[in-house]
Each structure stands twice: as structure tokens, then as C-alpha cells.
């Protein structure tokens, strides 16, 4: 698989702040890559350097083999970008805005007609005659993603595209991103874990300007150190929960109805003792299963819950 973005040893120092501290990243072509990190981790700084809008203090980055510092124009021609606070002309309709953006890239004629039609469709804005000034945040953000795709980029970069949206607005933007899978490489920064879990296949977790983990979503979850067991019983889970909570291998134990969930330090010990403890108290076991950690569990483990 070829690489869309290769970042190595990227460092950016502002006067007193080390915004990036030796960032290494490798974004496979065709992936939907979540660049995850709490506020101030260095996400925007990384995107700005990749776009040629800021210069690294040291280290570097290549986009499809082009150096982001020395071949800025080549890089920009391959990228579509949606900044964290995009600007619009409120008096234009979505179609007028997309045509305007297309012409800035030198696109015209039937190519522009076709592209505008398909992007309006993708954004769910086909046939909307209202002016952008009257749009909801979600509509504006969908238009922003469409605008970033007008030059048919190989790489789409989005800076916190869902941060300011309500759940419906977020879902629509995420659906748009998911529809690009396999066609356009998408690199998007966010601090919203569930967004990454919903659409990304690969994730890098940034903290204090350093990548603390990069892997496929499933790998990251598998490597979450905390192991979990779910125990469902027919009755008396309220008696079982304090019993499990006091076992030496149990780090955390919560009950929800007849289901008890444990975070365990020793999976083998937990698997052997739970059935015995349950049988001993004459409680009927319905099921006992290992639970995969969520991305949130892993994230909290890695960055200490600063999101």
C-alpha cells in the first residue's frame, strides 16, 4: 500500500511552546485517518505544516512524495482542506459558492458542472436554493467538506470538522466522510473519540506534541492494557458485585441490572475464580465474556483523560 503522508521527527517550537516534539506519522493511501488528541496537543499545527501554512522548526513531511516545505504548490494541488473555522460568502447559494471555488482552481465547463452537481448531492444540498447565510452549522460544514473536494484532491484534510455540531449534524458530516472511503485519503483531526470509532480505519493519538500511538483502530483497542470481563447472572447481581469487587485481581467493578462488569489485572485468575465464586453462592450464571476496550478506554489510558 502506498503512503499518502509521511511525517518524520516533526518539531515546531513557538517562543515558549514546543507545539510538536518529534512527530512521526505514516498515513496509508486510501485510509480514513483520525488524528486524535486533546485540546492543545498540536493537531492544528501539524495540519498547518502539512498545508505549507507554517514551517517546521526541524524534521519534515512528505505528501505523496512531495516535500511540504520545498514543494508547497505541488502539495497544495493534491490536497483539499477544510480549516477549523471556515469562511463563507453568506449571500451566495451552495451552488454559487462551489462554482466560485472551482473557478479559483481553474475548473470550468462541463467538468465544473458535473463536479458541482455531484458534490451538492454528496453534501445533501442539491436543490437547496437558500443562501449560505441562513444555513445551519451542519449545512455549512457539509458545504465546507464539498468545497474542499472541488479540485478532486487525492487527500482531504479536515481540522476538527465536527466539533461545533449537534449529533445529527455530526452524523451527516461523518456519513459524507465515510462515503469517500477507498476513493480519497482522508486525514482529520478531532478530539471526539466516537467520531474516530465511527468512520476511521487508522488512528494516531497525539499528546503534548508527541504521537503516543498510531495503529489501526482494532489494533489500538486490542492493545488497551486494561482487560475486562462481563458477567451476567439470572439474579442477585447486587450480591455478586461486592464479592467480585474485593477479589485481588479486580481493579474496578460496576453493576448494571443483572450485569456486572470488571476491569481485571489478571485475566486467567478472573476467568477461573468467577464461575467458582458464582457456583459457591448458588447464583445462576447466564454468560461470562471478555470485553474489548472502547477507543475511549484506550485513549484515557494513554493520555490520562485530558480530552
Instruction: Kindly state whether residue 41 participates in binding ligand ATP, applying the rule CB under 6 A.
Output: yes
Nearer to ligand ATP, 151 or 162 (CB): 162
Check binding of 294 to ligand ATP (CB under 6 A): no
Q: Which of 42, 102, 138, 161 binds ligand ATP (CB under 6 A)?
A: 42
Q: Please tell me whether residue 40 binds ligand ATP under the rule CB under 6 A.
A: yes
Contact status: 44 vs ligand ATP (CB under 6 A): yes
Q: Report if residue 270 touches ligand ATP, rule: CB under 6 A.
A: no
Distance CA 252, CA 70 (A): 52
Site string for ligand ATP, 184-223 (x = CB under 6 A): -------x--------------------------------
Q: Which distant-in-sequence residues (6+ apart) come within 8 Å of 63 by Cβ?
A: 4, 5, 50, 75, 78, 79, 155
Cα–Cα distance, 135 to 93 (Å, whole number): 10
C-alpha cell at 11: 518539531
Helix (H, G, I), strand (E, B) or coil at 295: helix
Choose among 134, 109, 133, 135: nearest CA to 123: 135
Question: Judged by CB under 6 A, does residue 11 bind ligand ATP?
Answer: no
Name the residue with cell 460544514: 141
37 part of the interface to ligand ATP, by CB under 6 A: yes
Q: Identify whether the C-beta of residue 228 lies closer than 8 Å to the C-beta of residue 291.
A: yes
**The dihedral sign for the CA sequence 70, 77, 205, 38:** positive
Phi, psi dihedrals of residue 25, rounded to the nearest 5°: -145, 150
Considering only the stretches 43-51, 172-180, 192-200, 269-277, report the one whose residues sit in contact with ligand ATP under the rule CB under 6 A: 43-51
**Grid coordinates 516535500 are at which residue?**
67
Q: Is 39 in the site for ligand ATP (CB under 6 A)?
A: yes
CA diameter of the chain: 78
19 binds ligand ATP (CB under 6 A): yes
Q: Which is nearer to ligand ATP, 47 or 63 (CB)?
A: 47
Write down the least CB distance from residue 186 to ligand ATP, Å: 17
Q: Among the candidate windows 12-20, 122-130, 173-181, 284-292, which touches ligand ATP by CB under 6 A?
A: 12-20
Binding residues with ligand ATP: total (CB under 6 A): 12
**Residue 2 found at the interface with ligand ATP (CB under 6 A):** no
What are the two backbone dihedrals, phi and then psi, of residue 117, each rounded to the nearest 5 degrees? -60, -45
Q: Given the rule CB under 6 A, which residues bind ligand ATP?
A: 14, 17, 19, 37, 39-45, 191
Amino acid at each position: 500500500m502506498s503512503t499518502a503522508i509521511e511525517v518524520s521527527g516533526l518539531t515546531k517550537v513557538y517562543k515558549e511552546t514546543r507545539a510538536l516534539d518529534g512527530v512521526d506519522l505514516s498515513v496509508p493511501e486510501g485510509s480514513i485517518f483520525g488524528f486524535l488528541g486533546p485540546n492543545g496537543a498540536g493537531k492544528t499545527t501539524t495540519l498547518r505544516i502539512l498545508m505549507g501554512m507554517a514551517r517546521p522548526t526541524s524534521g519534515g513531511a512528505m505528501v505523496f512524495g512531495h516535500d511540504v516545505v520545498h514543494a508547497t504548490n505541488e502539495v497544495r494541488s493534491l490536497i483539499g482542506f477544510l480549516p477549523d473555522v471556515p469562511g463563507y460568502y453568506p449571500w451566495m447559494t451552495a451552488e454559487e459558492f462551489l462554482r466560485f471555488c472551482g473557478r479559483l482552481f481553474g475548473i470550468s465547463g462541463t467538468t465544473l458542472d458535473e463536479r458541482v452537481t455531484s458534490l451538492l448531492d454528496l453534501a445533501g444540498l442539491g436543490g437547496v436554493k437558500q443562501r449560505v447565510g441562513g444555513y445551519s452549522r451542519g449545512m455549512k460544514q457539509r458545504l465546507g467538506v464539498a468545497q474542499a473536494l472541488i479540485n478532486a484532491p487525492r487527500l482531504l484534510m479536515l481540522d476538527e470538522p465536527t466539533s461545533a455540531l449537534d449529533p445529527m449534524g455530526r452524523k451527516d458530516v461523518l456519513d459524507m466522510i465515510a462515503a469517500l472511503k477507498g476513493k480519497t485519503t482522508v486525514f482529520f483531526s478531532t478530539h471526539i473519540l466516537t467520531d474516530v470509532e465511527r468512520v476511521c480505519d487508522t488512528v494516531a493519538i497525539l499528546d503534548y506534541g508527541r504521537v503516543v500511538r498510531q495503529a489501526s483502530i482494532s489494533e489500538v483497542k486490542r492493545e488497551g492494557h486494561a482487560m475486562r470481563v462481563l458477567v451476567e447472572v439470572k439474579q442477585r447481581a447486587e450480591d455478586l458485585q461486592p464479592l467480585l469487587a474485593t477479589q485481588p485481581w479486580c481493579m474496578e467493578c460496576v453493576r448494571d441490572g443483572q450485569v456486572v462488569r470488571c476491569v481485571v489485572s489478571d485475566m486467567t485468575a478472573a476467568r477461573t475464580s468467577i464461575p467458582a465464586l458464582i457456583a459457591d453462592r448458588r447464583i445462576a450464571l447466564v454468560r461470562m465474556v471478555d470485553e474489548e476496550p472502547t477507543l475511549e478506554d484506550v485513549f484515557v489510558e494513554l493520555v490520562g483523560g485530558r480530552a
